[in-house]
C-alpha cells in the first residue's frame, strides 16, 4: 500500500529511475503520485498529480525543471488520511520547505503531534498524517538530517517507511523502516530505495532488506545502516533471482489476463521438485528444519485475508480430510483480536501473496507470542512475512502485478493441498491416496491449458450478462471457497455486486432476493455433493432464478437445469476440481470487467499490498 522510490546517483538517471520505479509499484496505490528533486541551486522542485503515474509523467514532461542533482524521492499513494488530491499527495515538506519526504504507513499519533506543532506556529496544508511527519522533522532540523529524523521518531507512534531529503544536505538521503517495507538496491555508486524489489530490479539484483527500526544513511556516496539508537549495523546483501520479463505484460492487453492464462506454466514452477510420486511424499526445502515440530502438532490454523483467506478455507478442508487433524481458516484482521486458542502444538500457516499484509503480520506476531510454530506460504521473496515466519515455502509463480489476485490463489491452494499431504503422511495417510492426489496435482497444468481455451466462451457469456448489477455465486464443500473467491473477483474488477454463498445456506435467507434480475453462478461439477447441488439449483429455478452453471465436461443433465453452461475438464479428485473451476470464474470476471470498459489491472479504491490495518 503506497509505493516509495528513492534515488541517489547519476543526475541523468534521477527522473527516469523515479518514474519507472513508480510505474513498477503502481499496483500498490494509484490515487495520486509525486516526485521531489533537488535543484543545482539547492531548492526543491516538487511535482504532484492526482490519478495514475502517467498523469504525473505528463506533468513532469510539460514542466520546465531547473537543472537538478542526482538525488530524488517519489511516491504513489493509496489514500488513508485525506482524499486523493494534489495537496494530499506526497512528497510532503516541512514549514520552510527545507526537507521533503515520502511515507508509507500510518502515523497513529499524528493529531497530537499536529496540535503541538500548530501551537508552535507551524501551518498545515493537507489532511495527511505524512505532512505531520515532514513538519516534525523539519522542526527538529538543525543541520544534520539523521539527527533530526532520529529525534523526531522518538515521539512518533505507528508504522512508517519513509525516505527524507534536506536541501541543505543535497548529497544525503535517509530512509527508515518500521512496519512498512523498504528495500535498498546497490548498483556501484547508485542507490535505489523501493517499497519492494520490483522498483529496483531494472537497475540491480543486489539488495539489502531493512528490518523494523533500521535506518539507512546515504551520505556523500557512502551508505551505512544503524538502528534508531544510532548504533551501526552490518547488513547482508541478498541477490534477487527474478526475471524482469516476468513483470511485463508480454504482449497481453492486461496483466490480469496474462496472469490467468499463465497458470499452466506457473503451477508447474510452484510444484517443481516438491512432489515425490514414487513414495507418495512431498518435499518442501523450506520446511525441513521444522519437520520435527510439524510432526508433533495437533491443530492447524491457516491465516490470511481476501483471496488468501479463501485459499485458506480450501486448506482447512484439505487438512481435515487428508491429514485428519482439526484445522481452521482464520481471517487475519479478526484473528489478531480474537483470543484464539493457540499453543506450542499449533501450526499456524500464514498465506500472503505480497508478504506485506499488515493484519497477517500482526496475526503472525500474536501466534508466535503464544508459542505456535508459524510458517508461511508467500510469493514475494524476502518480504516481511517471509522473514518473520519460522520457516516457509515460496509460491514461485513470479510477480503478480494485477491488483486482483489470480495465479497466487491457485498456487496457495495447491501448496496447501501439498502441506496437507505432507502432514497426512505422518498421520496415517496411505501411499495410494497420497500418490493419487500427487498425480492429479501433476496434471493441473494440463487441466489449466484446457480452461484457457474457454476465453472466448466466457467472453460471450460475460457480454450476455454485462448489464446485470447483482450476481450470486454458490458452491458446496470444496467449491464453497470457490464461490466466495469467484464473487470477490468479479466485485473487485467489475464493480458488480456479487455474493458468494454455500448453496446449502441459500434457502436460509438469501433466496428472498432471487428473481429474474439476479442470476446465480452455480458451481455444479461432479463431486460428492453434486446431487445436493442439483437440488439447491432446482430451488433457485423454482423462484425464477437464472442459472449459469460451471459443469463437468459431458454432464448433459446440467443443460436442462441451466440457462447457460460452461464446461470444464473433470479431475478424478474432488480436491483438485475447485482449482479448475476457479480458473473459469477468473476468465469470466476478466471478461466482465473488460466488457464494461474498466481498468481491470487497477480497479478503483484498491491496492495490492495492504500495509495498514
Binding site for ligand F6R (CB under 6 A): 305-308, 352-354, 357, 360, 404-405, 488, 492, 610
Per the CB < 8 A criterion, the answer to whether 574 and 478 are in contact is yes
Find the residue with minimal CB distance to ligand F6R. 306
- Closer residue to ligand F6R (CB): 40 or 604: 604
- Closer residue to ligand F6R (CB): 21 or 304: 304
Terminal-residue alpha carbon distance, the chain? 11
- Closer residue to ligand F6R (CB): 100 or 480: 480
Nearest distance, CB of residue 543 and ligand F6R, angstroms: 31
Nearest distance, CB of residue 304 and ligand F6R, angstroms: 6
- Cβ atoms within 10 Å, residue 190: 17
- Closer residue to ligand F6R (CB): 5 or 305: 305
Of 345, 459, 351, 410, nearest to 576 by C-alpha is: 410
- Closer residue to ligand F6R (CB): 308 or 582: 308
Nearest distance, CB of residue 383 and ligand F6R, angstroms: 9
- Cβ atoms within 10 Å, residue 232: 9
- Closer residue to ligand F6R (CB): 50 or 607: 607
Nearest distance, CB of residue 494 and ligand F6R, angstroms: 12
Nearest distance, CB of residue 540 and ligand F6R, angstroms: 26
Per the CB < 8 A criterion, the answer to whether 68 and 117 are in contact is no
Nearest distance, CB of residue 376 and ligand F6R, angstroms: 10
Residue by residue, DSSP assigns 71-103 as: EEEEEEE--SSS-SSTTTSSPEE-TTSSEEEEE
Rounded to whole angstroms, the Cα distance separating 16 from 279 reads 53
Rounded to whole angstroms, the Cα distance separating 47 from 450 reads 48
Per the CB < 8 A criterion, the answer to whether 434 and 280 are in contact is yes
Active-site residue among 2, 52, 114, 313?
Answer: 2
Rounded to whole angstroms, the Cα distance separating 56 from 32 reads 8
Which helix (H) or strand (E) covers residue 38, if one does?
A: strand 32-39
| C-alpha dist (Å) from residue 317 to 294, 427, 604 | 18, 16, 33
Rounded to whole angstroms, the Cα distance separating 380 from 246 reads 13
Q: What is the greatest pairwise CA distance in the chain?
A: 79
| C-alpha dist (Å) from residue 505 to 310, 473, 474, 476, 540 | 17, 12, 9, 9, 12
- Closer residue to ligand F6R (CB): 352 or 577: 352
- Closer residue to ligand F6R (CB): 129 or 400: 400
Strand arrangement of the beta sheet that strand 183-187 belongs to: 44-50, 32-39, 68-77, 3-8, 190-194, 183-187, 206-209, 238-239
Nearest distance, CB of residue 311 and ligand F6R, angstroms: 9
Pairing of β 160-166 and β 99-104: antiparallel
Nearest distance, CB of residue 232 and ligand F6R, angstroms: 33
Query: To which residue does cell 517519489 refer?
Result: 74
Q: Is 2 a catalytic residue?
A: yes
Positions annotated as catalytic residues are: 2, 608
Amino acid at each position: 500500500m503506497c509505493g516509495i522510490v528513492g534515488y541517489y546517483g547519476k543526475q541523468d538517471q534521477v527522473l527516469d529511475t523515479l518514474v519507472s520505479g513508480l510505474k513498477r509499484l503502481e499496483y500498490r496505490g494509484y490515487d495520486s503520485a509525486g516526485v521531489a528533486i533537488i535543484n543545482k541551486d539547492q531548492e526543491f522542485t516538487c511535482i504532484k498529480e492526482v490519478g495514475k503515474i502517467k498523469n504525473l509523467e505528463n506533468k513532469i514532461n510539460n514542466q520546465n525543471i531547473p537543472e537538478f542533482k542526482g538525488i530524488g524521492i517519489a511516491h504513489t499513494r493509496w489514500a488513508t488520511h485525506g482524499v486523493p488530491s494534489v495537496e494530499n499527495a506526497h512528497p510532503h515538506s516541512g514549514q520552510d520547505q527545507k526537507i521533503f519526504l515520502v511515507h508509507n504507513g500510518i502515523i497513529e499519533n499524528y493529531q497530537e503531534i499536529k496540535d503541538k506543532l500548530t501551537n508552535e506556529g507551524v501551518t498545515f496544508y493537507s489532511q495527511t498524517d505524512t505532512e505531520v511527519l515532514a513538519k516534525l522533522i523539519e522542526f527538529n532540523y538543525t543541520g544534520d538530517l539523521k539527527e533530526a529524523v532520529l529525534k523526531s521518531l522518538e515521539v512518533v507512534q505507528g508504522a512508517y517507511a519513509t525516505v527524507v531529503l534536506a536541501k541543505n544536505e543535497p548529497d544525503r538521503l535517509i530512509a527508515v523502516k518500521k512496519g512498512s517495507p523498504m528495500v535498498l538496491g546497490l548498483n556501484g555508486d547508485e542507490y535505489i530505495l523501493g517499497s519492494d524489489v520490483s522498483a529496483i530490479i531494472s537497475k540491480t539484483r543486489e539488495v539489502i532488506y531493512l528490518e523494523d527500526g533500521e535506518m539507512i544513511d546515504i551520505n556523500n556516496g557512502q551508505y551505512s545502516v544503524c538502528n534508531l539508537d544510532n548504533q551501526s549495523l552490518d547488513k547482508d546483501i541478498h541477490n534477487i533471482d527474478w526475471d524482469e520479463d516476468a513483470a511485463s505484460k508480454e504482449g497481453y492487453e492486461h496483466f490480469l489476463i496474462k496472469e490467468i492464462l499463465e497458470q499452466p506454466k506457473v503451477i508447474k514452477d510452484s510444484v517443481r521438485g516438491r512432489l515425490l510420486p514414487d513414495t507418495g511424499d512431498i518435499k518442501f526445502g523450506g520446511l525441513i528444519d521444522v519437520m520435527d515440530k510439524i510432526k508433533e502438532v495437533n491443530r492447524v490454523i491457516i491465516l490470511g485475508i481476501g483471496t488468501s483467506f479463501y485459499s485458506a478455507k480450501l486448506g482447512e478442508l484439505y487438512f481435515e480430510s487428508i491429514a485428519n487433524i482439526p484445522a481452521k481458516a482464520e481471517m487475519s484482521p479478526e484473528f489478531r483480536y480474537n483470543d484464539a486458542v493457540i499453543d506450542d502444538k499449533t501450526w499456524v500457516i500464514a498465506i500472503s501473496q505480497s508478504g506485506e499484509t499488515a493484519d497477517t503480520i500482526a496475526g503472525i506476531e500474536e501466534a508466535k507470542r503464544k508459542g505456535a510454530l508459524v510458517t508461511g506460504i508467500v510469493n514475494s521473496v524476502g518480504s516481511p512475512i517471509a522473514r518473520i515466519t519460522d520457516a516457509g515455502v515460496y509460491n514461485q509463480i513470479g510477480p503478480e502485478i494485477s491488483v486482483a489476485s489470480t495465479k497466487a490463489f491457485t498456487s496457495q491452494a495447491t501448496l496447501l493441498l501439498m502441506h496437507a499431504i505432507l502432514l497426512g503422511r505422518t498421520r496415517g495417510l496411505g501411499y495410494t491416496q497420497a500418490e493419487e492426489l500427487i498425480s492429479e496435482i501433476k496434471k493441473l497444468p494440463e487441466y489449466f491449458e484446457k480452461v484457457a481455451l474457454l476465453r472466448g466462451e466466457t467472453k460471450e457469456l460475460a457480454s450476455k450478462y454485462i448489464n446485470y448489477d447483482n450476481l450470486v455465486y454458490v458452491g458446496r464443500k470444496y467449491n464453497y471457497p470457490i464461490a466466495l473467491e469467484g464473487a470477490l473477483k468479479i466485485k473487485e474488477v467489475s464493480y458488480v455486486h456479487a455474493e458468494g454463498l454455500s448453496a446449502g445456506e441459500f434457502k436460509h435467507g438469501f433466496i428472498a432476493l432471487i428473481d429474474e434480475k439476479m442470476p446465480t453462478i452455480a458451481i455444479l461439477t461432479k463431486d460428492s455433493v453434486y446431487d445436493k447441488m442439483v437440488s439447491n439449483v432446482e430451488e433457485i429455478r423454482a423462484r425464477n432464478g437464472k442459472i449459469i452453471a460451471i459443469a463437468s465436461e459431458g454432464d448433459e443433465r446440467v443443460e436442462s437445469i441451466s440457462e447457460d453452461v460452461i464446461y470444464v475438464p473433470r479431475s478424478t479428485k474432488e480436491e483438485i476440481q475447485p482449482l479448475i473451476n476457479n480458473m473459469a470464474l477468473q476468465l469470466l470476471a476478466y471478461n466482465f470487467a473488460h466488457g464494461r470498459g474498466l481498468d481491470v489491472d487497477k480497479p478503483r479504491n484498491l491496492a495490492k499490498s495492504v500495509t495498514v490495518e
